[in-house]
Each structure stands twice: as structure tokens, then as C-alpha cells.
Structure 1
Amino acid sequence: MNQSSNWDPQIAQNAIDELKGQPGALLPILHKIQNILGYIPKDSIPMIAKALQQTSAEIHGVVSFYHHFRTSPPGKHILQICRAEACQARGSRQLEAHVKDSLKVDYHATTADNTFTLEPVYCLGNCTNGPNIRVDDDIIAGVTSEKFDVIKEQKNTFVVELA
């Protein structure tokens, strides 16, 4: 996934051209664009609207309704905290407060250094081992505040080494 804010409108146009003939094409088009770019560029919304003979407001309404879609580039790592009841019973609310305080962001926001985008998730399928988080594609079980701090430091170090 390219998470660059320098997007090429042709990427959106290719997704539109490929999928616009499908019934219910809007969601597949949005998913394809976000899978490639990491987000739905605001400038792609009028392009999608025109191709699907809808208004930009209708497309924006769908994008803003589903929290999965974002209209700005995400951080280098997507961090999700499980908010399901089983994880709550095992301490995810306290973990959530610690993470938000540590990263200085709320849900659906990206840290100032562009390292993490914080998102809620409502089950990671690992209920007996909660509280759980997912960092990118890795599910991590039994996360305490201390364990999160170690994970955060490892991801920050990894990002710095790659830069």
C-alpha cells in the first residue's frame, strides 16, 4: 500500500473504469482506491460521482459513513484496539485510555509524527486472550500499558531505521 499523499488521478480512474459496470460498484471502487493508496483522495470523489451518475455529496456520504474509509493518508502503522465486550472485561478500556494519552490522538486520527493511525475495532477473534490490538496485520494478545509502550517503541525504532 502506497501511503503517499502525492496521488495520481489515473489510479482512481483505473479503479473506476475496471469496476463501474458491476452492480453496486461504489464500495468496490472505494475499496480498490484505498487498498492502493491507503486512503480515498478527496479529489477522487467527483470522478467517482460522475462515473456512477451520482452526486459528490452521495459519494462523500458513503465515505464518511463507513469508518473504514479515510480521506487523508494514514500513518505508517495502523493501530487498532479491540473494543468488544470480552476485551473490555479484560481491561481494554484502561489500555485504550493509555494508548490515546501516549499517542496524543483519538480514534480516526494520526500521530503528529505520522507513525500511527489509531482505529477502533470490534473483535479480533482472540477473545480469551484480550485485551487485543492489531498493528498493521499482526494481532497482539494480552496487551497491558507496559506491553504497549514496548510495542510503540519498537515500531518507532523500526520507522526511524527505515527512514
Structure 2
Amino acid sequence: MAGGLLPLLHAVQDAIGYIPEESYPAIAKGMNLSVAEVHGVVGFYHHFRTHAPGRHILQVCRAESCQAMGCSELEHYVKARLGVDYHGTSADHAVTLEPVYCLGNCALSPAVMFDEQVLGRVDKATIDELLNTLEAA
């Protein structure tokens, strides 16, 4: 597989927030790949989105350390609070919820990343504070 596909997909997502499925043919042609190969790579990596995200991205760490420190309870709370499952966007389009498989903040588990800010020792009160701030804005 062409070595430039992943950097290209990252660049597209960084520029517009997701990788539209209608862009696969152009990407495939430019990289001399099949549309199926592009689709397979986008589908394989959890990081890539195929739909426009909300205004903010909330990622809940699912790595072992965070699991040991209660991220499962935290993720259930976040899902209920937002009314979405992973890869979903809240009804007001404010927050897209995504799993992440290590934020490198294991000493402060459980951890989340809100947009580009990593937060540690996150609990329900932290989630409420983040989301209430958005609702007040």
C-alpha cells in the first residue's frame, strides 16, 4: 500500500474534520489505489470519521489503566448525558463522543481529551462541568 495514504487521510480530516465517503474515488485515483483500499483503511482506524463531527470532540480513554480506574462507569455516564453512543454526536451538534485507546495520561486515570486538552482524574462532576460550560455558552 502506498505510504502516503495515512498522512493524506490525516490531512483531509485535520482540514475539514472528517473524510467524506464521496472523496474516496479522488483519493484512490491520486494514490493509485482502489476505492475499496481507501475505504478499508478509513474503516480500520478508529481515529478517522466519515461524517462531520460536532463542534467539540470528547474522547474517553479505554486503555487498561483507565479501565482499572473506572472509565466504564464514566463512559456510561457520558453516553447517557449526551444521549449518544461512541461515534455519535449530541442532538445539538455540540459534542461528538469517541473512544480513544490511550492518552498517555495513565498516572491520572481515568482520562479524557476534550478537543485538544487532556484531562485526568475525570469523574462525573468533571464531565458535568465541561458540558454545563458548553450549554451556558
Q: TM-score, normalised by structure 1?
A: 0.78
2:25 equivalent in structure 1? 46
Residue-by-residue CA offset, 1:28-58 (whole Å, 9 max, x unaligned): 1111111100111122111111222222122
Could you tell me which runs of 5 or more consecutive residues in structure 1 were left unpaired when the two chains were aligned: 1-22, 159-163
Residue-by-residue CA offset, 1:6-25 (whole Å, 9 max, x unaligned): xxxxxxxxxxxxxxxxx512
- Structure 1 residue 146 and structure 2 residue 100: aligned? no
**Segments of 4+ moved more than 3 angstroms:** none
Q: CA RMSD in A?
A: 1.3
1:27 equivalent in structure 2? 6
Residue-by-residue CA offset, 1:74-126 (whole Å, 9 max, x unaligned): 11111011111211222111101100111111111111111111111122222
Give the number of aligned pairs. 136
User: For 2:35, which of 56, 64, 73 is the aligned residue?
Assistant: 56
User: For 1:101, which of 74, 80, 91 is the aligned residue?
Assistant: 80
Residues in 2 aligned to 1:54 and 1:88: alpha-carbon distance in whole angstroms = 38
2:104 equivalent in structure 1? 125
User: For 2:49, which of 70, 83, 104 is the aligned residue?
Assistant: 70
Instruction: Tell me by how many angstroms 1:128 deviates.
Output: 2.1
Residue-by-residue CA offset, 1:111-145 (whole Å, 9 max, x unaligned): 11111111111222221222111100111111111
Could you tell me which runs of 5 or more consecutive residues in structure 2 were left unpaired when the two chains were aligned: none
Structure with bigger RCO (C-alpha 8 Å, 6+ apart): 2
- Structure 1 residue 92 and structure 2 residue 56: aligned? no
What letter matches 1:46 in structure 2? P
Residues in 1 aligned to 2:30 and 2:130: alpha-carbon distance in whole angstroms = 43
- Bigger radius of gyration: 1
